[in-house]
Chains A and B, each alone.
Chain A
Amino acid sequence: MNQLLNNYLDRIDRYLRPLPAAERADIINEIKSQMGELEASARLSPQEILSRLGSPKELAGAYLGESLLKGGSFSARRFLCAILFHALAGIGGMFILPFTAVLAGAFILAGVIAPSGGLIKAGGFPLGFDVPWVSFQVGSLSPHPLLAAPLCILLGFLLILAGKGCWKLTLKYVRIVSRAKRTLLP
């Protein structure tokens, strides 16, 4: 296959890194097949094929955007997808998307750590040991260790809620961007 077309496929492959290897290979093979048909049946030159397919960013971005919208839950892979899609989608989101996506991850992580800490603190008290590296403070007050468990669970719940909210915001943003992208299509 032509060097130009191979370079194009390599770039698509790099942009699709957040997708599983098998899916990526399938996508590349399908684009390769499309190139072959365009060359043989539509008699297009490699340059014409590339201008028809659009930039690697645009094509890879369309795949990432579609795969990002098909589910709704948070995972490391989807997080990567979001960042990459965003990087491909344009400058405007360079600020919004990493911000909401990172906040979503941070909130969810904190939401898991907080109740665990609270449980360690409260669990240690009746057993007669204090865990110095888990400290619990509300302003300048240090409430009773037994109170730590319910308060931390509540806090964790609120944090996870905030994380989910940020994730929803992220998806909403992607949806708006991909809709905007689609309106640009002929």
Chain B
Amino acid sequence: MAKEISIEEWKSQIRRGTLEFCILLLISHRPCYGYDLISRLEKWPILTAKESTIYPLLRRLLKEEYLSSFWQETSQGLPPRKYYTITERGRDCLAAMTGEWNHLLAAIAQISGGSDQKENREEEHESVTEQLS
């Protein structure tokens, strides 16, 4: 069987690699509870993750002290919510992740030709085909 990259597998690898980053980013803006995080991530199909992914991940980030949590009663007669907030350690980690993320974006932009060369891309393509023929 030929080994080919399935696009679905690739997408799930990206999601796995970026989910912690996205969760820390969302929580860094304001305290969030699980359902809140899951439904906000659902706005982007590539980031959509199941409960069985998000909740154990939150628990690990809590144990590793990137997050802290508190329970709060709700006024609408719903069960209490568990809110997560980011810790100092979490912010440090987030800053490092943001730096690396920007490096990655810059690297990909350079590899793919950079945004400033977008309009030249067709010309380039033409000259390459000319050279080839």
Task: Say how far A40's CB is from chain B's closest CB, in angstroms.
Answer: 6
Q: What are 23 A-B contacts with C-beta separation under 8 Å?
A: A27-B55, A30-B34, A31-B55, A33-B33, A33-B34, A33-B79, A33-B81, A33-B82, A37-B35, A38-B35, A40-B76, A41-B35, A42-B39, A62-B55, A62-B56, A66-B60, A67-B56, A67-B59, A70-B63, A182-B12, A182-B53, A183-B9, A183-B12
Give bound CA distance, A44 to B82, whole Å. Answer: 21
Surface stretch bound by A, among B20-28, B44-52, B94-102, B116-124 = B44-52
Q: Which chain A residues have a beta carbon within 8 Å of chain B's beta carbons?
A: 26-27, 29-38, 40-42, 52-54, 58-59, 62-63, 65-67, 70, 182-183, 185-186
**Within 8 Å of chain A (Cβ to Cβ): is B92?**
no
Whether A40 lies near B78 (C-beta < 8 A) is yes
Main secondary structure of the interface of B (DSSP, over half): helix
Assess whether B16 is interfacial by the CB under 8 Å rule: yes
Q: Tell me which residues across on chain B come within 8 A of A66, comparing CB atoms.
A: 56-57, 59-60
- Chain B interface size band reads 20 to 34
| B contact set with A: CB distance below 8 Å | 9, 12, 16, 33-35, 38-39, 48-53, 55-57, 59-60, 63-64, 71, 76, 78-82
Separation of A54 and B100 alpha carbons in the complex (Å): 34
Q: Which of chain B's residues have a CB closer than 8 A to the CB of A29?
A: 71, 79-80, 82
- Expressed in whole angstroms, the Cα–Cα distance for A182 and B53 within the complex equals 8
Residues of B close to A70: CB separation below 8 A = 60, 63-64
Q: A183 to chain B: which residues have CB within 8 Å? A: 9, 12
Cβ A33 vs Cβ B78 within 8 A: yes
